[in-house]
Amino acid sequence: MSLQLAQLAGLHGLGWADLLQLWLHFMLLSLLAVGGAITTAPDMQRYLVAQHGWMSDAEFNTSIAIAQAAPGPNILFVALMGWQIAGLAGLLATMSGILLPSSVLALLASRYAQRHADSRLVRAFTAGLMPVTLGLLLSTGWLLTATVRTAWPAMALVAAVVWLNWRTKLSPLWLIAAGALVGMLTLS
């Protein structure tokens, strides 16, 4: 493949085989994304940063932070990662990979669950997903706090946010705003 064709496709140094591998990996992650794509962030970090070196830790965390702060669906961080890795081709690979399998599975499962809502199997499956989702979210939180775990004030802030979110009816938007304020004050 000519260099001009690769640049036109937006591959940024990735070959078609790498792009296919990226797409297949995100298809697998899609089936694990119980609770949303953010729950698979630890494996995305392992795959994109540690295994392939396509992104740095800072780029990875920035992609998540920007997408979570922006209005719109939470899954935008996947698009940013794809764009960072391989431009438009990477964006299409990561987004179609993360959306296609889970969307098809959700459609089929919801149709089944509607027809069998009183089934013991459906109730057990729904109850069984709760600890899986919680575990995936905790591992994502652990990954995202890696850079501040040695700073006790930052960890105290993380603990306070978790406690406030658990024990009060305070909107998470206020907690996000408070975290952004603390971040701005510490950077200036």
What mean pLDDT, rounded, does the chain reach?
A: 85
Least confident range from 3-17, 24-38, 132-146: namely 3-17
- Which of the two residues, 88 and 149, has the higher pLDDT score? 88
Least confident range from 10-19, 95-104, 179-188: namely 179-188
Alpha-carbon distance of 102 to 23, in angstroms, equals 14
Q: Write out pLDDT tens, residues 64-116.
A: 988 888 888 888 999 999 999 999 999 999 999 999 998 999 899 889 988 99
- Confidence (pTM): 0.62
Burial 105-127 (b: 16+ CB within 10 A, else e): eeeeeeeeeeeeeeeeebeeeee
What pLDDT was estimated at residue 141? 76
What pLDDT was estimated at residue 22? 97
Q: For residue 10, is pLDDT > 80?
A: no
From the number of C-beta atoms within 10 Å of its C-beta (0-12, 13-18, 19+), residue 37 rates as: buried
Q: For residue 163, is pLDDT > 90?
A: no
What pLDDT was estimated at residue 188? 60
